[in-house]
Every structure is written in structure tokens, then in C-alpha cells.
Chain A
């Protein structure tokens, strides 16, 4: 299975949910999808295609909140970034933690540092500060003029 084939199959399956595809090279691909499709996309990658969930990186930009879900296909060294852009005012997305435990802590961390709400998370408590930080203060949020 090579990168082209994987991307082709992915495009076929999620045609209407893909916003943009960037193939940097054989080992690095970024696909922007609609936030609502994240559960189906992750399920397809994890269960059908055998991808490993590395981690997710969230960031605050002028467009709103963005999350890159990093998936790895170890047999071919491919890192597939599933990129979603969330709403500026009330960022929320379905949690992946009911599918695999690997995303449990990072979703708690993103909730704590950026205030992104993960729907149906099994235990969305603070991970780092254990309640020692003020409520509603999100250290990784930025101010845009």
C-alpha cells in the first residue's frame, strides 16, 4: 500500500467532507476535513487502514481554532495530518477517546489550554493544572487585532 493509493481511497470515501488536500511528499500529507466528519474519518483510519494515532496539535489562529490530528502509517512512514477548523466563539468537536485511549489525555490538555470542548469525552477533567488555574483562562489562546 503506498501513499497515492491511501489518499485516493480516502478521497473516494470522504469526497464531500474534504476541504483541501496538500501532498507535501510521499511521507507528509495534510487533509483538511469538515469537523463533523472527524469520528468517521478517525474510525476509518484507525480501524480500516491501521493508522496509529500519534497526537493532536491545537492552535489558535485568525480563522478560529485549528486542530491537526496526526496519524502515522508506520509501514510506509507516512504522517497524515487530519486538519479541522473550529468555530471562533464556541470551539467544539466530537471526542475520539471512546475509540482509542491514545487521545484521552491530549483532548483534556487541549480543553485546558485552549478551551476547546470535546463532546462525549469520558472524563474531560483538567490534566495539567489540577484545578490550580483560574477558570476561563486559556494560556495558549491569542489576541488578534
Chain B
């Protein structure tokens, strides 16, 4: 009789947006069932938001996620401006989009690095994170912060991008583009990466619709949904760009979508910088006296997908209800489809493919034999399973070449 093994993954890791615990129920090497637990670090932000003013909430929601810290203020601004019926200035629109796209670039590079690490390609990890660094420098130059930029407010943005900074941004973008070429070439042409990611963790179009998944996870399964195109906000209707999709729905398709989106983001930023030159400097914010009674449904396309904020106002200076839905909330649930039936070695990258962080395996995971309660595999051995598979493939692929 085969032994059923429980492999817990999580719950804590500083890189995860939300601490979470996955329980993988395995039969031999195959994952048979998966259960998910969360709430380890529940901060009660929705409740807290009801006691803050609209101006303060921007700083609160910015701290929901450390990687895409701008996407929540973006969606919140869209919701509040919908209630107050405000149309912000073009200059503010361009600056908002520039921040949003810079964030997408650094977030996607971060993911590519992590995905490389899980597959045993630590060079990809170090490259990607090194190339991401100049983008963070740009944030520091524009906003004063590498992360949590505090750029948004109701009616516009807090800081302008001066004319003198535009050539600096352009230079760094050119550099990022060259490096992304290098990275894309390395990932797309590597036979071992193909062998590890093609056909792994497949999500069909129907799975995506059923779970309501969004962002690159949905686009990699052939569903061309992108809030920037479908429900345009900020400067996205003013620039030309295209929605990147792939059909396969596997891990490779998700990597492909993210890498190609970096080019689109660079193109959007370049067009926005050109747009900025035509707008009057300093014209970045409108005076908003009060937020009337009403309901606002704000959304923005974060690097991981659609962020949704529902705000109900009673005319006072704080919302009555503020509901926040991060893209991972719907994307994580797809693990049930993408991981079951995979080997443990492939579950690593399947879980990572929707872009939560899986590094917790290195610190937390221990496998237990369910019947005896005995430890049979520790964290390092678990991630080594994935590395071993890549090494094996490297050898086989070389003999075939």
C-alpha cells in the first residue's frame, strides 16, 4: 500500500504578499490534494480603513503589498475619484501610468528571478534582480522611496517629474531593455527551461473563468483580459500598446507573457514621457474639498492582475465600507487545478507561476509521514527535488544535442 505524505509549505516568508500555508497531500511523488490556510498575519485593513480619512487611506493601502505597493493606491484613487466624479489633469495621468508601469517592470523581473531560482538557475535569479535594481533607483529619484512611493492622492499625484529627470529615466529604460533582451533570450532558448516549464501546471481557459483568475495568469491561458485595456484609466487610453497573451496556460506561457509585458511597459513609459513634455509643469493635482455620498468601484491592473477596491461613502471624511480584493486572492485558488497530479518537483514552479512567493519552502517546509508522524524530508531536500530534476534534464538534453 502506498504511503500518503503531507507536505506543508509556509506559512511565513517576508516576500509573500500574504503569509499562507499550503498542505500538499502526496502519494509517492504525485500531489493528490492541496489545502490552503491563511490569516496568519491578518491586519484588519478593511476595518482600519473605516477609521481613517481618505487622505490617510492612501498610506494604509500602500502597505498591503510590498512588491506592487502602488497598485492599491491606484485602484483606491480610481474608486474615490469615481464617487467624487473627478477627472484628473493629463500630467497627473501620465505620472500615474509611469509609476504603474515602472512597478510592473520591477515586479516581473523579480518573478523571473525567483522562477529561475526554483528551477535551479541561480544565474537567472542574480541577473534579473541585478537588472531590477536601476528601476528601484528610478523610484528613489522620482518619489524619494525605493518602495511605498506615496505618490498618489485624491485628485492627482504628490510629486511632479521634472523635465531634467526625463533623460535619466530614458537612459535607464534603454538599459533595462537591453538586459531584458538578454534575459528573454536566455529563458526562451534554453532547452532545459522548456523541458521544466512546458506542459507543467496547465490552467485551461475554463479553469480561469471558473476561478475568476486575472492578470498574467489569465492572459497566459488565452484570455485577453487587462483592466488597462478593458476599463481604461490614467494615461492608458492616451498611449498605444497591446495586450500580451499566450495560449498554452503552462508555466512557460506565464513566463513568456511576463517577459513580453516588460517591453510593452517600457513602450508605455516612453510615450508617457513624451506626453509629459507637452503638459504644463506642476499641473499635477486638483483641490478636492469633500467626497460626496456614493459608491465607487475602482480597479487597476497590478503586475499580478486586477486589483479591485469597493468604497461606500456617506459624505463624511471616511468610508463606511472599503472592500479590497488583491489579484492573488483569486489566482491562488487555481493551485487546486494546476498542482494536483503534478510531481512534488513540479509543484514548486506551478505554485510560483501565479507569482506568490514560494521561498518559504527553504525555511519552513518539513514532510511528515502521516501514519507515524515521522519527519521524512526537510525543507532543503524538498527544494533539492526541483534542482535535481533540472540537473537530470540538463544531462539528458545535452546527450540529445
Cross-chain contact A102 with B306 (CB below 8 angstroms) = no
B322-346: CB near A (< 8 Å → 1, else 0) gives: 0101000110010010000000000
- Flag whether B37 is at the interface (Cβ < 8 A): yes
CB interface residues, B 274-327, toward A, < 8 Å: 295, 297, 299, 306, 308, 310, 312, 320-321, 323, 325
**Which residue of B37, B46, B211, B232 contacts A77 across the interface (Cβ within 8 Å)?**
B232
Contacts of B262 in A (CB 8 A): none
- Flag whether A68 is at the interface (Cβ < 8 A): yes
Contacts of B44 in A (CB 8 A): 139
**Which residue of A101, A104, A129, A140 contacts B42 across the interface (Cβ within 8 Å)?**
A129
Cross-chain contact B46 with A140 (CB below 8 angstroms) = yes
Write the nearest CB–CB distance from B84 to chain A, whole angstroms. 12
Cross-chain contact A59 with B320 (CB below 8 angstroms) = yes
- Flag whether A55 is at the interface (Cβ < 8 A): yes
Cross-chain contact A57 with B225 (CB below 8 angstroms) = no
Write the nearest CB–CB distance from B65 to chain A, whole angstroms. 17
- Flag whether A79 is at the interface (Cβ < 8 A): yes
**Which residue of B37, B42, B46, B225 contacts A52 across the interface (Cβ within 8 Å)?**
B225
- Flag whether B210 is at the interface (Cβ < 8 A): yes
Chain B binding surface SS class = mixed
- Flag whether A14 is at the interface (Cβ < 8 A): no
Known A-B contacts A54-B212, A79-B297; the reply to A104 vs B333 at CB < 8 A is yes
- Flag whether B178 is at the interface (Cβ < 8 A): no
Write the nearest CB–CB distance from A4 to chain B, whole angstroms. 17
CB interface residues, B 32-71, toward A, < 8 Å: 37-39, 42, 44, 46-47
Contacts of A101 in B (CB 8 A): 210-212, 333, 336
**Which residue of B39, B82, B325 contacts A55 across the interface (Cβ within 8 Å)?**
B325
Cross-chain contact A128 with B39 (CB below 8 angstroms) = yes
Cross-chain contact A74 with B82 (CB below 8 angstroms) = no
- Flag whether B230 is at the interface (Cβ < 8 A): yes
**Which residue of B47, B210, B230 contacts A74 across the interface (Cβ within 8 Å)?**
B230
Cross-chain contact B39 with A129 (CB below 8 angstroms) = yes
Residue of A nearest to B323 (CB): A57
Residue of B nearest to A53 (CB): B212
24 A-B pairs in the complex with CB atoms less than 8 angstroms apart: A28-B82, A52-B209, A52-B225, A54-B212, A54-B299, A54-B306, A54-B308, A55-B308, A57-B323, A59-B323, A68-B310, A70-B297, A75-B230, A81-B297, A100-B210, A101-B212, A102-B333, A105-B329, A106-B325, A127-B38, A127-B39, A129-B39, A129-B42, A130-B39
Residues of chain B at the chain A interface (Cβ within 8 Å): 37-39, 42, 44, 46-47, 82, 209-212, 225, 230-232, 295, 297, 299, 306, 308, 310, 312, 320-321, 323, 325, 329-330, 333, 336
Besides A54-B299, A127-B38, 18 new A-B residue pairs in contact (Cβ under 8 A), listed by A number: A52-B209, A54-B325, A55-B308, A55-B323, A55-B325, A55-B330, A57-B321, A59-B323, A68-B295, A77-B230, A81-B295, A101-B212, A102-B210, A102-B330, A128-B38, A129-B42, A139-B44, A139-B47
